[in-house]
Amino acid sequence: MQVTLKILRYNPEKDARPHWESYRLEAEPMDRVLDLLHQVKWEKDGTLAFRKSCGHGICGSDAMMINGVNRLACKTLVKDLGTDVITVEPIRGLPVEKDLVVDMEPFFEAYRAVKPWLINDEPPPERERLQSPEERAVFDEGTKCILCAACTTSCPVFWVNGTYLGPSAIVQAHRFIFDSRDKGAHERFPALGSTGGVWRCRTAYNCTEACPREIPVTQLIEEVKRAIMFGQM
């Protein structure tokens, strides 16, 4: 089948602002949008810039806005889009460096702000820190996150509020706050409870819809809100 791939392109050295460019391509229904981008880069215009690494939905490099919603290019099949006009734009709310490549630094800065590592000053036991399957299940969803930023950059609050940590950082915080082995909740709460923290979430659910790992992002954010509000930790 023939498809039209429209890409929002931007070259900081030449363009004053981003502009659309269209490519007519021969595609299979089972092709991924990533295959189409490769086709353009390898056969039509080698200057096209985008990120990808694994090609299998696990590295989190290729989140982009495809036909108006955030998805991974490597996890989106042409046939599932239900149209032969495919638009691709960089994810929103982060500075565009070139074409589909954005500066992820603000995203990772928010990630670091919630201290996404195990905090526990108690002396380590002789063997591992034991945890029951039930305790493990409480934070299971958050462990699936691949830090692709699809959620954070789909959030209407993140687009306009320069300080909001964003859904992804809160998912990461949830993963540790609700881990029975972790004792760092009170070190994380200042960032999470600040003006740029969980209270900026207005439950628009774009994050939950966007997550390629099907993490119930909004639900986790609400759980963190309640943990802070009721001092559960």
Partner 1 sequence: MYRGREGQWAFYLHRISGIAIILFLALHVTEISSSMFGPKWFNALLKFEENPIFGLGLVAVAALVLYHALNGLRIILMDFTSWGVRLQRQLWYAVWVVYVVLGFPMLFIMLRHVFVGGE
Q: Out of 33, 100, 191, 211, which residue is the one contacting ligand SF4 (CB under 6 A)? A: 211
What is the rounded CA–CA span in Å between residue 52 and residue 49? 10
Query: Per-residue b/e over 32-52, b at no fewer than 16 CB within 10 Å?
Result: bbbbbbbbbeeeeeeebbbbb
Residue 18 DSSP SS3: coil
Q: Is 67 in the site for partner 1 (CB under 8 A)?
A: yes
**Residue 223 CB, nearest approach to ligand SF4 (Å):** 14
Q: What is the dihedral of CA 93, 95, 101, 106, to 10 degrees?
A: -80
Q: Which does 179 bind (CB under 5 to 8 A by kind): ligand SF4, ligand FES, partner 1, none?
A: none
Stretch that binds partner 1, among 11-19, 54-62, 71-79, 214-222 (CB under 8 A): 214-222
Q: Which does 57 bind (CB under 5 to 8 A by kind): ligand SF4, ligand FES, partner 1, none?
A: ligand FES
Q: What is the dihedral of CA 199, 204, 205, 206, to 10 degrees?
A: -110
Contacts to ligand SF4 by CB under 6 A: 145-151, 167-168, 171, 210-213, 215, 217
Contacts to ligand FES by CB under 6 A: 52-55, 57-62, 72, 74
